[in-house]
Amino acid sequence: MMDVLTPRQRSHCMSRIRGKDTKPELILRRALWSAGLRYRLHHSVTGRPDIAFPGSRVAVFCDGCFWHGCPHHSVSPKTNASFWKTKIGKNRARDERVAAALRDEGWIVIRFWEHDIKNNPEKLAGRVKRIVGKTVGRGRRR
């Protein structure tokens, strides 16, 4: 099946996709703020987590179902399927490398799927709050 857009139109559409401040990220941030948690955005550590708690060394990533290959909601595109399979596979491999590197640096890594954030952000905020609360004071002093 051919793409209905020209390469130039497709390029423009793809360039509009955000890497920061996505809707799931904003929903989770709002829930975390309401739960009394204060955080840093896109903190400059390995992998640039979407949300970071540097004092307790907790990194939170909000993974989109399409871009990170959610086992429940990811749908393979009908056009350019081999490209997308490779692309999503590389995204998942990068996610694993980043998580391992952060753990080696002493961080706790939390990943949430887009659908979980949309379904119950308060529950996820509570989970983050429990983890952050358990780790307060374990961060390095500068």
Please tell me whether residue 25 adopts helix, strand or coil conformation.
helix
**pLDDT at residue 112 tops 80:** yes
Q: Among 11-20, 60-69, 84-93, which stretch is predicted with the lowest mean pLDDT?
A: 11-20
> What confidence score (pLDDT) does residue 139 get?
52
> What confidence score (pLDDT) does residue 138 get?
55
pLDDT tens per residue, range 121-139? 999 999 999 999 987 655 5
DSSP per-residue string spanning 67-122: TTT-TTT----SSSHHHHHHHHHHHHHHHHHHHHHHHHTT-EEEEEEHHHHHH-HH
Domains of the chain: 18-135 (3.40.960.10)
Q: Which comes out higher in pLDDT, residue 127 or 66?
A: 127
Q: Which residues contact 36 (CB under 8 A, 6 or more apart)?
A: 129
- Amino acid symbol at 119: N
> What confidence score (pLDDT) does residue 105 get?
97
**pLDDT at residue 141 tops 50:** no
* pLDDT band, residue 76 (cuts 50/70/90): confident
pLDDT tens per residue, range 5-62? 788 887 788 777 777 889 999 999 999 999 999 999 989 999 999 999 999 999 999 9
Q: Among 56-65, 84-93, 107-116, 128-137, which stretch is predicted with the lowest mean pLDDT?
A: 128-137
